[in-house]
Structure 1
């Protein structure tokens, strides 16, 4: 039998929300891996591994060189937002297909994205960068309240909040600056025009400069003023796709992306779709899995195909809908109960999975004191014939879920009063 092509995967992430990516690539490719710790669940998918911190460029290049000495590598891919730039450098170093490191660096910087969107006439938000509270105040007065403050180069909605009045600005700036401090690319804060309207994303596949918008993801957000994403749904028959697909493709072109998968976030305002940001990788929160459940399109396989110079198969084989709900407690504290009503799962074939991320007794911390990583207790996925049916079934599952925390006494957080009661709710739909 002819040997299968070999793809190098960097930073496979956790099994719960990213395991499907590695599994789907392994169905068509031999996989060699670079990861920061000894592989566990990944072993079912891989032929070889090098342990290296992907954030350490020299260690990453050395690991890639070692794997290239043992295998003929056809491509390299990652779905880790944090490692996009270094993985592009690695692919370039190994002579494999890639967007340039500079393009990936631009994609990691929301301020640069805004500049490129304006230059290429992609509808977006007015924005200014700020490194001090005074600069943020001047930017907010120039743009006009309400504004959104966020780290210029971070992800996962960390440090992002809406500020409606000038007295709320110090808290919002502190929150954004704390998130920005963890970024590898920029520690600046971005002050943006608030875009009012439903938030969606467009999942795109780009091959040799041509972008195909394959699905629309409808989002459910937690309580204001934060932008915590607590749910997503994908409908293969979503009538929005012809309207927002060209806008997403224009944003991808503006950033100079020629290959790969893109998760393009936007808001549907009264003036039409306007860009929030482009993420140059498969979306998180199992959105790629939802796309496959709803349409049959395999985004991880497409990412590997493109990395190896092969045209991806974007044939739709399904016309259904799927959704995920991410479970948050009502308050920070100690998780004291979490379960689904006995027997419910067995009688609901459309409830595809229920997965717990926290055990009873674990501490959970909502934003702004925590983040999605410390707050999420679990998630579940459902399928249906339409977005409406997915929403109905999501509510049915929520009615059968018990999620209880014992609050932890908290001292007031100076300067952050506008965020103190803003954690997302598990019962919001």
Structure 2
């Protein structure tokens, strides 16, 4: 008999970005997966699977989860796909498991609800006004003061986010913020936030939340590019980042989760470190993307997959560091719109280089932001070294040697 806890994982995401999670989790958990197509590469890590017509239907997920649980009791439900985290919470609720609070997840999924909850609790954040039209946005900007940020209500990875400095720029960028979408994103009748611009540098913190207590395990510093768009072009993690010792920051992190009523699960919280103190930008009710948790694991030794599985099953996480390294990731884009790609290859492999991952096949067409955004990425690379400078140097060399 296999006495490992039985974990239901809903969907996977791209192999090139999420395989490391399954690789870790399967060492201590039996994984049953709900997918919309037969598994391929996932079979190496899972003990069972169910193919559904769709994994976007909360009722279908809940009904199928009940059937699975009747045959083989499920100890936890886990999902890291932004488009499915709300539906997964319904499945957890149907089984009476941790994370089974759709209202909790929706307060993260809907950025307007996030703002309302944080405002009610007095958690520092940029001022935010929900706007429906260009005229609404112009009025909000006049009230808040330029520059402002236009931001979609329920996207991720900074999609559709743009800084505008005056009314003319706002009018010119309105369609970008209003019309940018992503596959399977939720629809809202009013879907843009006009927000106060928070100057400073941005970080993210991944936390395993257990019985209302946030246990942070990965702190990353974000690098943005293609201004005025907020394209996330890279991240750096330092196991010894001095921000780990910032008591006020960690206290705000805990108060943020309390304000959202987030009691069990994993979160990815984005925070702007401003001259007047940290301000919450947003909270995602899932583990971070863009290989950020992987960098944390390589830098400090804390396993993100195992911690996500633990709290999903009502177990205390273990976020004790065992390494003292640094890690970085950089995303690469073509130089011009509508570039037809050849082989995407790295011609040099400097010291510190870790993962070298082409994302597009020969013959594909790609563009840099704003036309390309996430889908314009043609490759990414990670580096692991004893300092951020060494990671940056390795990534610079990889970028110089990238061919397409």
Question: How does the TM-score come out when normalised to structure 2?
Answer: 0.94
Structure 2 CA distance, aligned partners of 1:56 and 1:36?
11
Three-state SS of the structure 1 residue aligned to 2:344 is strand
Structure 1 CA distance, aligned partners of 2:251 and 2:25?
28
The structural deviation recorded for 1:335 is 1.6
Q: State the match for 2:94 in structure 1.
A: 93
- Post-superposition Cα deviations, 1:306-349, rounded to whole Å, max 9, x if no partner, equal 111111111211011111111111222212453222xx33x63x
Distance 1:65 1:185, change over 3 A: farther
Does structure 1 conserve the Cα–Cα contact (< 8 Å) formed by 2:98 and 2:265? no
Q: State the match for 2:344 in structure 1.
A: 338
Does structure 1 conserve the Cα–Cα contact (< 8 Å) formed by 2:335 and 2:367? no
The structural deviation recorded for 1:39 is 0.8
Give runs of aligned pairs for residues 363-378 of structure 1, distance below 5 A. 363-372=365-374, 374-378=375-379
Q: State the match for 2:214 in structure 1.
A: 211
Give runs of aligned pairs for residues 272-421 of structure 1, distance below 5 A. 272-333=277-338, 334-336=340-342, 338-341=344-347, 344-345=348-349, 348=351, 350-372=352-374, 374-403=375-404
The structural deviation recorded for 1:382 is 0.5
Q: State the match for 2:26 in structure 1.
A: 26
Matched, 1:123 2:124: yes
Give runs of aligned pairs for residues 143-154 of structure 1, distance below 5 A. 143-154=144-155
Structure 2 CA distance, aligned partners of 1:49 and 1:83?
17
Q: State the match for 2:224 in structure 1.
A: 221
- Post-superposition Cα deviations, 1:14-37, rounded to whole Å, max 9, x if no partner, equal 110011111111111000001122
Give runs of aligned pairs for residues 138-287 of structure 1, distance below 5 A. 138-179=139-180, 183-184=185-186, 186-187=188-189, 188-243=191-246, 244-287=249-292
Does structure 2 conserve the Cα–Cα contact (< 8 Å) formed by 1:157 and 1:228? yes
The structural deviation recorded for 1:396 is 2.4
Structural RMSD (CA): 1.7
Three-state SS of the structure 2 residue aligned to 1:95 is coil
Three-state SS of the structure 2 residue aligned to 1:128 is strand
**Which has the higher mean CA deviation after the structures are superposed, 245-254 or 300-309?**
245-254
Q: State the match for 2:14 in structure 1.
A: 14
- Post-superposition Cα deviations, 1:230-253, rounded to whole Å, max 9, x if no partner, equal 111111000012223222222122
Three-state SS of the structure 2 residue aligned to 1:46 is coil
Question: How does the TM-score come out when normalised to structure 1?
Answer: 0.89
Structure 2 CA distance, aligned partners of 1:228 and 1:352?
23
Does structure 1 conserve the Cα–Cα contact (< 8 Å) formed by 2:110 and 2:154? yes
Structure 2 CA distance, aligned partners of 1:80 and 1:204?
16
Structure 1 CA distance, aligned partners of 2:74 and 2:193?
39
Q: State the match for 1:427 in structure 2.
A: none
Structure 2 CA distance, aligned partners of 1:269 and 1:376?
29
Three-state SS of the structure 1 residue aligned to 2:47 is strand
Does structure 2 conserve the Cα–Cα contact (< 8 Å) formed by 1:150 and 1:176? yes
Unpaired runs of 5+ residues, structure 2, are none
Q: State the match for 1:413 in structure 2.
A: none
Unpaired runs of 5+ residues, structure 1, are 404-429
Does structure 2 conserve the Cα–Cα contact (< 8 Å) formed by 1:232 and 1:325? yes
Does structure 2 conserve the Cα–Cα contact (< 8 Å) formed by 1:10 and 1:87? yes
